Every structure is written in C-alpha cells, then in structure tokens.
C-alpha cells in the first residue's frame, strides 16, 4: 500500500465545533494566545491557564469527529496512512485513525512539571487539572501541551514520517507556526502534495495541488478525484 501522510491543523476540527487559532483577530476562545499558551502565561496565572484547558477539555468531550476525520480513517482500507497533527484534540483517534502523531501535545493528557516530565492520561470522568494536583513525585501537573517557546519533542519523528511519504496531504493549517510549517519541505522528490483549506494560503510551491474547500468536502474530493486507485 502507498504511504499517505496527512498533516492536519485546527481547520480539520473546525467542522466539529472547535475554534481555529487565527480566524478570529488573534484571540483564541476570547483569550490572547500568549496568555494561555506560553510558559510566561503559566507562571503569571497558573489557575487561569488550568481553567482554560479544563474548559477546552469539557468542550472536546462534547464534540464528535466530523465527516473529514471519518474519511481519513476510511483511507486506511487502501493506503498506509500516518497522520501528523498539530491539534491537541483526540478526534482523529475517535474517528478510528490508527496512526496519529501529536506534534503539539494532547488535551486529554497531563504532564508533570518535574524534570522527568512524566505524562498521564486524563479520564473523561474527571477531565480537570487543579492547582495542587500533583504527580506521584510531588510536582504540580500541567496540560500536556507544547506552548510557544517550548521544544517540540516529536518533530524528529514527524520529519522521518514525511521523508517516507509517497502522498502528502495538508489540511486546515495556516502554516504560520514553525517547525510544523516546515514539515512539507521534507517530502521526497516525486511525492504528490495536496493542500485542503477553504482560504488562500500564500507562498505555496506551485507543485502543490490546492483544493480550496473545507475539510470534509475537500477530503471527499481528494478521495474521489485524486486518489482513485
């Protein structure tokens, strides 16, 4: 089976009701991104940051995967599919995708602020982290999210995945945040690259086939028009 690599961003989950980051004046769910997604924001007001992600988690539990997530999962019948997502939601997994690498962390996980950085699952029955919630070694737990200014530990794995792609599909990302935005540059020669987004993405190489549609409609077009076996 051909190796099909899918890079997804916030637009992938927009049709499930989760807001994108840069479609609303730089505000994310009424917060400045730097207040809720940076180590500085965490040190300034830990309780506000914890509460923000507790709300995001509650929202995620109420959301369901959209038709686009389902179509990507179905592609596994015909392709060796690997998803690399910038999204911290678990909608790809809930739609049935088997291979999902999260570049920017996962909302349903907590991480120790101790030097070990151990990661723990968060249950649907208790989807909150509070100030004073500690890891077994006694360190405060924080959201398992890669914030601005922090290292992206999965980037090397993501590069290796893209380097093996025969088909690369980019969906719903403004390609403004690095290093994620540079991943497509690692696609090997001859790799077919498609980009699905309802809005114009500037400075794209002319070799990329752009499908200017929302995720669900765009993936359906990809499947029926471009990926016919």
Q: Segment near ligand APR (CB under 6 A), from 120-128, 133-141, 192-200, 220-228?
A: 192-200
Contact between 214 and ligand APR per CB under 6 A: yes
> How many whole angstroms separate alpha carbon 23 and alpha carbon 42?
24
* Residue 170 host element (H or E): strand 167-171
* Residue 169 host element (H or E): strand 167-171
48-53 — which CB contacts under 8 Å span 24+ positions? 49/143, 50/128, 50/129, 50/130, 50/131, 50/142, 50/143, 53/107, 53/129, 53/143, 53/145
Contact between 90 and ligand APR per CB under 6 A: no
Contact between 199 and ligand APR per CB under 6 A: yes
Q: HEC profile for 6-48?
A: EEECCHHHHCCCCCCCCCCCCEECCEEHHHHCCHHHHHHCHHH
Contact between 21 and ligand APR per CB under 6 A: yes
In the complex with ligand APR, which residue's Cβ is closer, 38 or 139?
A: 38
In the complex with ligand APR, which residue's Cβ is closer, 15 or 35?
A: 15
The answer to whether 102 is a known catalytic residue is no
Q: How far is the CB of 115 from ligand APR (least distance, A)?
A: 24
- Residue 179: cis peptide before it, omega within 30 degrees of 0: yes
* Active-site residue, selected from the candidate residues 69, 92, 102, 104: 104
Contact between 41 and ligand APR per CB under 6 A: no
Candidate list 10, 169, 184, 227; residue touching ligand APR; CB under 6 A: 10
Candidate list 9, 41, 65, 143; residue touching ligand APR; CB under 6 A: 9
Candidate list 14, 135, 169, 183; residue touching ligand APR; CB under 6 A: 14
Contact 191, 168 (CB under 8 A): yes
Which residues contact ligand APR (rule: CB under 6 A)? Answer: 9-11, 14-15, 20-23, 33, 37, 86, 104, 172-174, 176-177, 197-199, 214-215
Catalytic residue ranges: 104
């Amino acid at each position: 089976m051909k190796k099909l690599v899918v890079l997804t961003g916030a637009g992938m989950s927009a049709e499930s009701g989760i807001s994108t980051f840069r479609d609303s004046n730089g505000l994310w769910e009424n917060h400045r991104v730097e207040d809720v997604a940076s180590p500085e924001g965490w040190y300034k007001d830990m309780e506000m940051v914890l509460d923000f992600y507790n709300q995001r988690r509650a929202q995620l539990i109420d959301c369901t995967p959209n038709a686009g997530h389902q179509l990507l999962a179905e592609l596994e019948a015909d392709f060796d599919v690997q998803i690399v997502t910038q999204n911290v939601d678990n909608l790809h997994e809930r739609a049935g995708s088997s291979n999902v690498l999260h570049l920017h962390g996962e909302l349903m996980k907590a991480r120790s602020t101790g030097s070990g950085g151990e990661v723990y699952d968060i249950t649907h029955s208790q989807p909150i982290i509070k100030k004073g919630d500690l890891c077994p070694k006694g360190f405060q737990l924080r959201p398992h999210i890669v914030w601005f200014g922090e290292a992206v530990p999965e980037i090397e794995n993501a590069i290796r995945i893209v380097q093996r792609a025969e088909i690369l599909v980019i969906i719903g990302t403004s390609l403004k945040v690095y290093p994620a935005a540079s991943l497509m540059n690692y696609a090997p020669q001859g790799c077919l690259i498609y980009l699905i987004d309802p809005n114009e993405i500037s400075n794209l190489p002319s070799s990329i086939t752009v499908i200017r549609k929302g995720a669900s409609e765009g993936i359906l077009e990809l499947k029926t028009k471009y990926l016919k076996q």
